[in-house]
Amino acid sequence: MVYYNSKLTPYSRKLRSNMTEAESLVWSKIRRRQIDGIQFYRQRVISTFIVDFYAPTVKLVLEIDGSQHLEVEYLEQDKCRDAFLNNLGIMVLRFDNHQVMFQLGSVIDRIYDVIEDFGREKCHFRRS
């Protein structure tokens, strides 16, 4: 189980009720186990971070980035955050709002591909 800062829980609840349009679009495609039966959670606290979407069974985080994430300060923060999550064995997929709004099919296909790859690795690992 991954440590989380319980003081962030009220904030994550607030974020769940105030999703961006791009986050809402992604959520409409991944909620209720629509992708290979995988359960995703919205605005999940992991350690000291709140991630947009998290699927613990496949250790996958989805981040939907607004335009502010193109600024140098945010790019550095995202890089450190991704490295931290990667060290926990969690893969991070980042999509910007434009990708979600105009290429949603490609975004969902990429998520499917990563989940399929995870399944193949898991099956391969079990056979060894």
Average pLDDT of the residues of the chain: 88
Rounded CA separation 116/74 (Å): 30
**pLDDT beyond 90 at 37:** yes
Question: What is the torsion angle, in degrees rounded to the nearest 10, for the CA atoms of residue 60, residue 80, residue 72 and residue 97?
Answer: 10
List, for residues 42-77, the tens digit of each pLDDT value.
999 999 999 999 999 999 999 999 877 566 778 899
The reported pLDDT for the residue numbered 115 is 94
pLDDT of residue 122: 64
What is the assigned CATH class of domain 6-127?
alpha beta
Give 73-121 pLDDT, tens digit per residue.
788 999 999 999 999 999 999 999 999 999 999 999 999 999 999 876 7
If you average pLDDT over residues 22-39, what whole number do you get?
96
pLDDT at 6: 80
Q: Please tell me the distance from the alpha carbon of residue 125 to that of residue 78, in angstroms, as a whole number.
A: 30
pLDDT at residue number 124: 45
Going by their DSSP bridges, the two strands 91-96 and 60-65 should be labelled as parallel
What pLDDT, on the 0 to 100 scale, is given for residue 71? Answer: 67
